[in-house]
Amino acid sequence: MLLDVEELHVRYGRTHAVRGVSLSLNEGEVVTVLGANGAGKSSLLRALAGVVRPAAGRIRFGKEEVTHAAAPDRVRRGLVLVPEGRQILVSLTVHENLQMGAYCRTDADVGRDFAAIYDRFPNLAGRRDMPASVLSGGEQQMLAISRALLARPRLMMLDEPSLGLSPLLVARLFDLIGALNRDGLAILLVEQNTGMALRAASRGYVMELGRVVLDGPADALADNDALAAAYLGAH
């Protein structure tokens, strides 16, 4: 098992955003976390990334416990978040944004990995020295994912990557998620686009008010009438 989360709680003052979530993910697996706005999905990912401190619970990544590890330490171990809203620094160049992803690396393969990114995303290569503000929303999402790839993740956590993208770009994004997974990358995908997410994932969890209310194989969730009534009609 690559990620094992036990009874995780996140609180912001009096708001109890995550209320005892347990979740697991195997090497090479795509798992999705679904749920309405405010269900606690982002808070869960932020706690896994070490951006917020869990109030209780345990997070294991690989063979180690990382519940209290600092965020950069988790990145070094390969636990990498692509945050909601992408968090691109638009006044920096495309290349400088990518460099931020590789900041924790000291190995000799960094140059090769940059070349592979520019190979895969010609739109980024053509604009490498321009400010990231010239990129479209879809290209900014590619940049955010590329930045995460440069950290050499073992698990990439994506927080609503399809938000604000046109249907064509959403399809391209999910093609990319599929391709990265075929290369062996494990992915934890938070999405409101339930249909696409369940097609990309092998398993899913549904959150409501900070709790997991349903989980199982993606095809079973896609056939679940209650889930369909609550979410699948939304897209």
Question: Where along the sequence are the contacts to ligand ATP (CB under 6 A)?
Answer: 12, 15, 17, 35, 37-43, 84
Q: Report the residue number, 35 or 204, with the smaller CB distance to ligand ATP.
A: 35
For the bound state, the minimum distance from the C-beta of residue 205 to ligand ATP, rounded and expressed in Å, comes to: 12
For the bound state, the minimum distance from the C-beta of residue 48 to ligand ATP, rounded and expressed in Å, comes to: 12
DSSP string, the chain: --EEEEEEEEEETTEEEEEEEEEEE-TT-EEEEE--TTSSHHHHHHHHHTSS--SEEEEEETTEE-TT--HHHHHHHTEEEE-TT----TTSBHHHHHHHHTTT--STTHHHHHHHHHHH-HHHHTTTTSBGGGS-HHHHHHHHHHHHHTT--SEEEEESTTTT--HHHHHHHHHHHHHHHHTT-EEEEEES-HHHHHHH-SEEEEEETTEEEEEEEHHHHHT-HHHHHHTGGG-
For the bound state, the minimum distance from the C-beta of residue 43 to ligand ATP, rounded and expressed in Å, comes to: 3
Q: Report the residue number, 87 or 99, with the smaller CB distance to ligand ATP.
A: 87
For the bound state, the minimum distance from the C-beta of residue 115 to ligand ATP, rounded and expressed in Å, comes to: 35
Q: Report the residue number, 42 or 67, with the smaller CB distance to ligand ATP.
A: 42
Q: Report the residue number, 17 or 180, with the smaller CB distance to ligand ATP.
A: 17
Q: Report the residue number, 48 or 102, with the smaller CB distance to ligand ATP.
A: 48
